[in-house]
Amino acid sequence: MFLQYRTGLATLVQFISLCLLGILNTADSVISTCTSHHSTCISNLLVSVIFYLLMAAWFGGLWVIGYSAQERRSRRLALLLIGLELLVLLVAAFNAQHHANFINLLTSAIDSLLAIWVILLAWRLSRSKGGRIVSSQQARQRRHPPTSL
C-alpha cells in the first residue's frame, strides 16, 4: 500500500498498531513480573502503565503532526515528521537488538517498518513544496498529450 502523500493516514496506522502492540507488551511484562517476582508486581504495573501512556502520547503527537503536514502540505512539518520518525527508527532498532521476548522483537520490527513508510511519505510530501504529488507517468501524460489524427 503506497499512498502518495497521506502522512495523516500512515501515522494513524502507526498509532493504532503500536498502541495495540503496546498493550500486549505491557500485559506480558506485568504478567511475567507478577508470576515470578511478587514483591515488585505493583511497582512494575505502575511503571508499565506510565510507559504505555507516554508511548501513546508520543505516537498520538506524531499522528497530529502527520495529519497537519498532509492537510497543510507543509514542507516544514514534513521535515519535522521525518526527524521524529528517524528518532523512532533509532529507538526501534535499539529495542530490536535488546529484545526480551518475541513480542518485543515483533513490536520493534513493525515499528521500524511503519517508521520507514512514514518517512518515505513525508519525504515525498516535502519534495512537493506544497503542490500536488503525482506519479511521473501521470506527469508525462499531462506534458505530452496524445495526438489524434
Residue 23 vs residue 99, higher pLDDT: 23
Q: Which residue is it, cell 519535522?
A: 80
Residue 145 grid coordinates: 498529450
Is the residue at 75 inside a domain?
Answer: yes
Determine which of 4-13, 23-32, 88-97 has the lowest per-residue pLDDT on average.
Answer: 4-13
Is the residue at 135 inside a domain?
Answer: no
Q: How far apart are CA 103 and CA 26, in angstroms?
A: 10
| pTM listed for this prediction | 0.80
Which domain covers residue 77, as residue numbers? Answer: 7-128
pLDDT-derived band at 39, boundaries 50, 70, 90: confident
Q: What is the pLDDT of residues 64-98, one digit of tens each?
A: 999 999 999 899 999 999 999 999 999 999 999 98
Is the residue at 80 inside a domain?
Answer: yes
pLDDT-derived band at 1, boundaries 50, 70, 90: very low
Q: How far apart are CA 15 and CA 55, in angstroms?
A: 9
- 30 pLDDT above the threshold of 60: yes
| Helix pair angle (7-36, 102-128), 10° resolution | 160
Is the residue at 71 inside a domain?
Answer: yes
Number of domains in the chain: 1
